[in-house]
Chain A
């Protein structure tokens, strides 16, 4: 049997993007070394491995780095072919999965973050956009077990880390995600029953404490 090539993950515990990769590695049962990065003092290895963005997560497999969480997840699926498939096999369903995973990146994270950061009109605009985008996402989920249907996959992995941010979004947005989007909340709970997810994500209250601290520090907002 060929010797196992080293798998190293450069990450930061609270990063939802890093959490996606941790979930994917756990789903595939891939042994790896986890290295926590101090983002205020990035390691030479991180800077060398991701010279373009200098961001985590970075997966290093057999000495070769891969960056960008959704690209890493697809890479994991391509390499560890014998584990749980993370994308569907049908090309149309694969296209749909990629579409919605990138939707989460472009539309959910951006306006969610703006809603947390800003006050006044900018906050209201961001909140409206955020609610609209959650509605679209719930429309895609409908009554399926996962976004991947019966199979937990790319879109689920892309979005589930943000469920631990729901408490924070609700606090700053002054609304209830459970009330507005019950299907999304139910889906989040189903995902948490998977060990790959529950072991990779942070407690929502811990997320809130950290984000509240950062928001106050950077934007003076309480």
Chain B
């Protein structure tokens, strides 16, 4: 019986994009269903009753929620494709650590930059914090081509969707991530060479337009 895989997500969701990259790396066929986050489908609400958020992967009718949990699930089910997590327990723990770090830090910090409503001090502090976080990640990357070593791995997949939000952060925050973190931007370009990344990730300008619209809609201008 063929696998039926459905992904409930939103085209600009960094967390959903991670899952899309993972599915592409494993060459898994799936149906993408775009969710309107202001008018969530009954399927989404039923599939993720706890958080009511995207992404949700529905595999043969069974939902899996939380992007980091979904990616590990994909890695464990579709074993024929490249391994997304390292096999070595210590490297695996390290990959989980940095993915968890990325999940806890970039999104809330970035939000304080672009969702800012006229509070220059908060925005300036958030900008400094974001640069600090990205430099820390640059340090962790070191001289390796990818966080996963020679190839794209769990941490790369967790981080690279945020690169499409850099333009938003830079424009609202008035700074250049290329200038502050050139090694990280070189890593972004290496990731973009992979089809699983370049075919999945949206245009940063499109993301920026979407965020401008969202900011207006939320009354944050």
Contact = CB atoms under 8 A, between A and B. Distances in A.
Interface in A48-98: 52, 61, 64, 66-68, 71-72, 74-75, 78-79, 91-92, 94-95, 98
B62 A92 contact: yes
Residue with the highest number of chain B CB atoms closer than 10 Å, among A61, A72, A94, A95: A95
B101 interface: yes
A104 to B, nearest CB: 12
Contacts of B101: 52
B62 to A, nearest CB: 6
Chain B residues touching A, majority SS: helix
A92 B96 CA distance: 18
Contact of A95 (B70, B96, B136): B70
A213 interface: no
Interface in B70-102: 70, 72-73, 76-77, 89-90, 92-94, 96-97, 100-101
A136 interface: yes
Contacts of B207: none
A98 B90 contact: no
B186 interface: no
Contacts of B70: 95
B96 A102 contact: no
Nearest to A90: B76
A91 B76 contact: yes
A103 interface: yes
Contact of A92 (B50, B66, B68, B73): B73
Chain B contact patch, size range: 20 to 34
A75 B92 contact: yes
A71 B136 contact: no
A64 B94 CA distance: 11
A78 B73 CA distance: 16
A142 to B, nearest CB: 15
Interface in B92-147: 92-94, 96-97, 100-101, 136
B100 to A, nearest CB: 6
A95 B100 contact: no
Contact of A72 (B59, B76, B93): B93
Contact of A98 (B72, B92, B94): B72
B69 A99 contact: yes
A182 to B, nearest CB: 21
A37 to B, nearest CB: 19
Nearest to A64: B90
Contacts of B62: 92
B69 A102 contact: yes
Contacts of A78: 89, 92-93
Contacts of A102: 66, 69
B93 A75 contact: yes
A139 to B, nearest CB: 9
Residue with the highest number of chain A CB atoms closer than 10 Å, among B62, B76, B93: B93
Query: Top 5 A-B pairs ranked by shortest CB distance?
Result: A78-B89, A91-B76, A75-B93, A95-B73, A98-B69
Given A66-B93, A94-B72, 5 more contacts: A75-B89, A78-B89, A79-B89, A95-B72, A98-B69
Interface of A: 52, 61, 64, 66-68, 71-72, 74-75, 78-79, 91-92, 94-95, 98-99, 102-103, 136
5 contacts: A52-B101, A64-B90, A74-B96, A95-B70, A95-B72
